[in-house]
Chains A and B, each alone.
Chain A
Amino acid sequence: MLLPLVVGITLVTFVLMNVIPGDPTISLMDPKRGQLDPQAAERIRQRWGLNDPAYLQYLKFLFNAVRGDLGFSFRFNQPVTRIILERFPATLELGLAALVIATAVGVPGGIAAAVRQGGWLDASLMGFCVAGVSMPVFWLGLLLMYLFAVKLGVLPAGGYGSPSFLVLPSLTLGLSSMAMLSRMTRSAMLEVLRQDYIRTARSKGLAERVVVYKHALRNALVPMVTVMGVQAGWLLTGAVITENVFGWPGVGRLLVDCIGQRDLPVVQGCVLFTVGMFALVNLVVDVLYAYIDPRIRLGR
C-alpha cells in the first residue's frame, strides 16, 4: 500500500515540475548578457543529465531523493536539501507554537462547553467555532497585524527574531485549528458523557471532576487525536500563507518565492519535503492511537 503511494507522490511531483516547457539552461543565463553559448549549455545538460530520457531522469531523482538529495538550485547555488533545512526550524517553531495555542485553548474550551451543554459558554464557543473555520487565515493575520502592530504598536508587524515576533503569526495560524479542535472535543465529550459507564461512575459518588477528566476524557481522546493529525496537515499549508503574510523565513515562504522566481528544483524539493512531513505526522498519530487505546494494535 505504501510503496505505490511513494512512487505516485514522487512521480506526480516529478512530472509536474518537468512538463513546463522551456529549456532549464535558459534560466541560468543572465538576460543582460544575451545568449548563452550553445556549447556551455550542452555541457550543463550533460553534467546534470538533462539529455537522458525522462524515465531515467525520474529514477535518478527518486534514487537521490531517497538518499536525501533533492537536487541543486542554480539560483541559490546550493543543494536544495540544505536550503530547505536552513528554513525548516522557523516553520517548525511557528507550527508547534500554533499547535500549542490551539490545544491549550481548544481542548479545555471544548470540554467546558460539553459539560455545560446549552449554556452561554457553549453557545458562544460554537459561534466562535463557525466564525473561526470560515475566517481566511491571511485576513485574520492582516487584522491582527493592523490591531497590534499599526494601532497599538505593541508587537512587530513581521519578521523573525525575539519571541515577540512569534506571537501574531502563531495566533493567526492557530486560530482555525483551535476552532476545529474545540468543536471536535465538544462532540467527542458529549458522545462519551452519554454512555452508561459515566452514569455508573457518577452514581457511585465520584466527584464530577474525576468523572470528566479521568473517565470521559480518556475515551474522547481518539477522535481528538485524529483531528489534531488533520490539523497538523492543515498547519503545514496554513504556514505557507501565514509565513507570507508576516514575512516569516520558513519553508512556506521559500516555496512561494521560488515559484515566483521559477526556481523549480527548490519548488519540487519544498513540495516533496512538506508531503514527507505530513506523512510523518500521520505516522505519529497512528502510533498515538495505539498508545491511547490499547484495543488498537499496530499491524494486527
Chain B
Amino acid sequence: MYQRLIFISSSRTHLMTNMLSLNSSANRFYLSLGNVANYSSKKYYDIVIAGGGMVGCAMACKLSKESALRGMSILLLEGGPNRKEYDLSAKKNTLDKLYSNRVSAVSKSSVRLLQSIGAWQIIEDLGRNNAVKEMRIWNSGAGRSGGINNVLAFDNVKDLAYIVENDTILGALYKKINEEQNITVNYDTRVNQCNLSDSHRDLATVKVANGEISFETSLLIGSDGYGSKVRSAISGQQYIGWEYGQRAVVATLHIQSDEDNIYKGHVAWQKFAQLGPVALLPLDDKTCSLVWTTSYEEANRLAELSDNEFIDALNDSLSEEKESNNSSLLLADDAAHILANVLNKYCQSNDENKQSKKIKSIPPIVVGVIKDSRASFPLGFGHACQYVGQRVALVGDAAHRIHPLAGQGVNLGFSDVTELSNQLNQSVLTGADIGDLNALLNYQTAAQRHNVPIMLGVDGIQKMYGSKNNLVPPAITTLIRNVGLTICQSTPIIKVCIFKMKLMIIHVYILYV
C-alpha cells in the first residue's frame, strides 16, 4: 500500500545545496537593488493613483484611513496645477455666495464615504451642501391635463441627495490629503505610459509626461477620467463606448419660485424636453445649477446667445407652449391621462399618496444667469470590461462613463472607492500583496455588479426620454414616455400585481397537491 521511500541525499549535501541556492538568490537580490540604485530616477511607492479628480482624491484619503494600509506610501499624480480654487477660505464668505458651474448630486452612500474620510465635515462647516428634499420630474407635451398626470415626484422626510459644487468637494479632499503624511501629491504630472507586467513578481512602472522620472509601484490605481491612459495599458482590455451626440450646457441661475414651505430651495426639477433632459439643481433658495442636455447644434446656438436671450430660451424650454399645439401630441397626452385614471382606480390604496403628490408642478422661472458661468461639455457612454489587471485597478470615469441625467456619475465613482478600499483592506489583513490579483478580481465583480445595472438603466432612460428619434413619430414617443412616468408614479400597482400572481400560484399549487 505504501510507496517505497528513497533517501534523496544525506542531510549534509542538502545543507550545502541550501547554502548555494541561498547565496545565488541573495546575489540576485543585491543585483536588483544595485539596478534600482543605478536608475536613481525610479522611485518606489506602495500605491500610485493616476488622476487627482474627486474620485482619485477620495481614493487616496480612504486608503490612508484603512487600518491595514496605515503607513503605506501613496503618490497622487494630478495633471493640473496646484490651483487656488481649492483654497477653501474663499468659500467661507457667506454673504456673497458665488457658485461654481460644476456641481454634483451626492448620494447618501457617497456622503458616508466622505464622512469616513472627514471631508464631509469640512463641507458642512462651509455650509456648501444643499439638501434635495424633493425631485419633480415631468415630460414634455403636457397639454390640457395641466401637467398633472405626467409628473413624477419623489419626496422624502429625509434628504434624497445633496448638491455640492465639485470644487468644494475637491477643496475639502485636498485639505485632508495635505494633512496626511503618507500621501505625496505631484501636480502638473500626467501619466504618459504605464508598463504592467504579467508576472506577479514584477512591479508596475509609471512614466510621467513632462519629465524623465518614472515611478515603481505595487498597485497602480487609474482614476484619470474617461480618456484614461491606465485603462488602455491593461492587457486584454475591451472598452465599450459611444457618444450621445449631445452636449450638456451648464450655468448657474437665479430663479424665482413661489414655493414657501420647507421645500423652498430644496427641490430639484428635471424636464424631459424634446431634445434632452433639462435639470435644475438647487444651490440655495434663489440659486440653481443648470444641466441642459441638448443636441450639438442647439448647444452651439445657445453658446452664441446673450445672457438675456439664453434665459428666454431656457424658460421657453421649461414651459410647454410650443409643443401642445400639435393635435397628435394632445391625443397622446389624453391617452396617458386616461391610463393614469384607470391605474388610480385599480389601486385604491395609492390614492392618498396621489393626493399629496398633486402639487403644483409649475416650473420655476429663471430670472438671471450668473456672468461667465455658462459652459458646455460633450456626453457619452463608456464601460471598461476589465476594471482590473495585474497590479492595476480602475475607479471612477476611467472605468465607466454615464449620462448625467440621473446625477449618478460621481456616486458610482465613490462607490468604487469604497469597494476597492474594503477589498484591499481585507486582503492585506490576510497577508496578501497590495496588488494581489485575487483581491482586485473581487473588487471587479462587486463593482460591476453594482455599476452595470445603473449604467444600463440610465442609458435606457436616456434613449427613451433624452433624445429625439426621427424614425418614430413624436406622438408615440410622447405617449410611451408619459405612460412610463404614470406607471412609475403608481408603482404600488406592480406590487399589487405581484401579490395577486403569488396568490394564484399558491391556489394552483394547492389544487395540484
Q: Do A and B truly interact?
A: no
B: which residues have CB within 8 A of A?
A: none
